């Protein structure tokens, strides 16, 4: 079949890498893709959010199946448009994507269907938000309601920081329309984990567990980012906890969305906070996590294309997924300055040397080709990923890959996986 993957980041490289191995995939396109994706798919110069152009390309090329990677085209209704044109697609509808597109909608859904999460209140006016912060005290969390590229959540350790976060979003409008409304919620403590399930509207099939590192610098210090690394499995998510997450969070979410007239299909990504009382929902995402997708694809033994098709076609109850027992880890290499201002265009060398290490795969996120050269073209640029018998072994292998890459303008954390390794 002819397959189109929409997106151009590390998540989409991992999806293309996995899908290209399927005997069912006869031709693979990616829009817009990147320098790494170009090694496994034909890249098409169409932006992921250009819904009309994606639809037009899929029609003209008689694409059989479209897999939508990022959240923005899902929120914009790309899957709805494709299905109206009788083109099969993996991803949720625009109405269902509000689960990620609006933090307020997500919190209200949890409250309505008794899904465990932090106490909260929604605001569309800064003074009311500040009064609530005074009443509740700090630490407290301020979230932009809309999409903010993973950066719209500010953990505030005191009242001044919380007031500044409210002004940042609502008055200075650093996240644009995404900050017109905000959610202010209880500061949860515990251990974070990422939980993924394939969903076909009725059936939910859990994937293996993963855990990412959001903070920019070692020791989980510095500003939040889209993710500086991840590993799978996450020891905190035991088989017993998986059952509890499915029963108390995933199932009521799927049932609740159906009752709301927004049946959910695609991948459901639940960001969790886990403490002695069990798991609570930090956030929902309506797409694979990045960088979690990379470690999941490294561990998936089953045909990835088959699995995504089963979700799109409503037959997840007929399949099971197989996984490698090995652990996987990704270390993200980012441009100096990220998640703040960074320069584009620096040359990256040593990629072949890294890829030559047995067990290492380098997924590209923000790269572009310039003749024979690979240039940095984003904030998070590469994801050096390794599969090995344990998280500790995968960590050693991933950092061997990192050290083989010659890119002075890049940086990475040197402690990815510390939490899992400390548990042993």
pLDDT digits (tens, 9 = 90+) for 221-263: 998 898 999 999 999 999 999 999 999 999 999 999 999 999 9
Torsion angle, alpha carbons of 41, 332, 284, 240, to 10: 100
Tell me how far apart the alpha carbons of residues 244 and 389 are, in angstroms, rounded to a whole number.
27
- Phi, psi at 388, each rounded to 5°: -155, 170
Q: Does the pLDDT value for residue 74 go beyond 90?
A: yes
Where does residue 398 rank: exposed (0-12), middle (13-18), buried (19+ CB within 10 A)?
A: buried
Between CA 66 and CA 78, with CA 72 as vertex, the angle to 5 degrees is 40
> Would you state the pLDDT for residue 411?
98
Q: Does the pLDDT value for residue 26 go beyond 70?
A: yes
Tell me how far apart the alpha carbons of residues 54 and 45 are, in angstroms, rounded to a whole number.
10
Residues 6+ apart with CB under 8 A from 400: 357, 360, 386
Average pLDDT, the chain: 96
Q: Does the pLDDT value for residue 150 go beyond 80?
A: no
> Would you state the pLDDT for residue 114?
97
- State the pTM of this model: 0.94
Domain ranges of the chain: 2-91, 125-180, 191-318, 327-423
Neighbours of 173 (CB within 10 A): 14
Average pLDDT over residues 376-380: 97
CATH level 2 (architecture), domain 2-91:
3-Layer(aba) Sandwich (3.40)
Residues 6+ apart with CB under 8 A from 27: 2, 3, 42
CA 212 remoteness from chain centre: 10
Tell me the percentage of the chain whose pLDDT exceeds 70.
100
Of 301, 294, 202, the closest CA to residue 257 belongs to 202
> Would you state the pLDDT for residue 344?
97
Q: Are 59 and 46 in contact (CB under 8 A)?
A: no
Q: Does the pLDDT value for residue 151 go beyond 80?
A: no
Q: Does the pLDDT value for residue 412 go beyond 90?
A: yes
Tell me how far apart the alpha carbons of residues 46 and 56 are, in angstroms, rounded to a whole number.
10
Q: Does the pLDDT value for residue 424 go beyond 70?
A: no
Q: Does the pLDDT value for residue 149 go beyond 80?
A: no
CATH classification (class only), 191-318: alpha beta
pLDDT digits (tens, 9 = 90+) for 81-91: 999 999 999 99
Average pLDDT over residues 354-365: 98
Q: Does the pLDDT value for residue 158 go beyond 70?
A: yes
Average pLDDT over residues 337-359: 97
Average pLDDT over residues 310-331: 97
- Provide the CATH number for the domain formed by 327-423 in this structure: 3.90.600.10
- Provide the CATH number for the domain formed by 125-180 in this structure: 3.30.1490.20
């Amino acid at each position: 079949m002819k397959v189109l993957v929409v997106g151009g980041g590390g998540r989409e490289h991992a999806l293309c890498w996995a899908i290209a191995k399927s005997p069912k995939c006869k031709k693979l396109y990616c829009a817009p893709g990147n320098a790494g994706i170009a090694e496994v798919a034909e890249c098409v110069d169409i932006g992921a959010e250009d819904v009309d152009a994606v639809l037009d390309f899929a029609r003209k090329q008689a694409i059989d199946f479209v897999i939508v990677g990022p959240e923005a085209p899902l929120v914009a209704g790309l899957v709805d448009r494709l299905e109206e044109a009788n083109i099969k697609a993996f991803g949720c509808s625009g109405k269902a994507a509000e689960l990620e597109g609006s933090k307020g909608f997500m919190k209200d859904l949890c409250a309505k269907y008794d899904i465990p999460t932090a106490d909260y209140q929604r605001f569309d006016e800064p003074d009311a938000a500040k009064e609530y912060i005074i009443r509740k005290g700090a630490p407290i969390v301020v979230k932009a309601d809309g999409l903010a590229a993973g950066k719209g959540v500010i953990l505030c350790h005191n009242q001044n920081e919380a007031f500044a976060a409210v002004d940042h979003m609502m008055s200075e409008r650093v996240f644009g329309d995404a900050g017109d409304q905000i959610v202010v919620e209880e500061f949860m403590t515990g251990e974070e984990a990422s939980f993924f399930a394939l969903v076909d509207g009725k059936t939910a099939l859990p994937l293996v567990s993963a855990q990412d590192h959001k903070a920019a610098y070692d020791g989980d210090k510095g500003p939040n980012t889209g993710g500086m690394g991840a590993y799978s499995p996450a020891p905190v998510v035991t088989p017993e906890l998986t059952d509890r997450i499915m029963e108390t969070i995933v199932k009521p979410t799927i049932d609740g969305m159906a009752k709301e007239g927004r049946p959910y299909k695609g991948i459901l990504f639940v960001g969790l906070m886990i403490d002695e009382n069990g798991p609570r929902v930090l956030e929902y995402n309506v797409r694979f996590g990045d960088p979690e997708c990379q470690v999941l694809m490294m561990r998936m033994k089953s045909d990835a294309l088959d699995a995504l098709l089963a979700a799109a076609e409503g037959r997840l109850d007929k399949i099971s997924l197989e996984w490698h027992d090995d652990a996987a880890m990704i270390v993200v290499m980012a441009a100096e300055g990220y998640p703040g201002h960074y320069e584009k265009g620096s040359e990256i060398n040593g990629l072949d040397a890294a890829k030559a290490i047995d067990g290492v795969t380098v997924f590209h996120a923000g790269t572009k080709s310039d003749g024979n050269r690979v240039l940095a073209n984003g904030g998070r640029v590469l994801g050096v990923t390794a599969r090995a018998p344990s998280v500790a072994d995968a960590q050693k292998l991933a950092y061997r890959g990192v050290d083989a890459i010659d890119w002075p303008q890049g940086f990475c954390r040197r402690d990815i996986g510390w939490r899992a390794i400390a548990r042993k």
